[in-house]
Amino acid sequence: MQESDAIELGRQAMMMALRLTLPVLGISLVVGVMVSLFQTVTSIQEQTLTFVPKLLVLSLALLALGPWMMRTMVGFTVGLIHSLPTFIH
């Protein structure tokens, strides 16, 4: 395996990790901002108010996005396994 192959493989893995985590992180960000805005408007400073909605929404998001995430990871892994012979020199 050449150094450039290893760097390209690392780049692809990092892009895959970003592609898989960005939707979940984006949903978490939106829910967090909405809860913070609600807390500011109502002057409620309950700590569980931030945790419970995020937990529920992220659970639903992972249920909805889970199949897509799994297909994406399996596709990447299958492509990686098929390309292994090209890395052996």
List, for residues 8-65, the tens digit of each pLDDT value: 889 999 999 999 999 999 999 999 999 989 888 888 888 777 888 889 999 999 999 9
- Determine, yes or no, domain membership for 88: no
Task: Write out the residue range of the structural domain in which residue 40 sits.
Answer: 3-82
Residue 72 counted as domain residue = yes
Assess if residue 32 is contained within a domain. Answer: yes
pLDDT at 77 over 70: yes
DSSP assignment of 18-45 equals HHHHHHHHHHHHHHHHHHHHHHHHHT--
Give the integer Cα–Cα distance in Å for 50 and 55: 9
Per-residue pLDDT, 51: 86
How many Cα atoms occupy the beta-carbon half-sphere of 82 within 13 Å? Answer: 6
76 belongs to a structural domain: yes
In a domain, 89, yes or no: no
pLDDT of residue 89: 64
Residue 88, pLDDT score: 76
Q: How many domains does the chain have?
A: 1
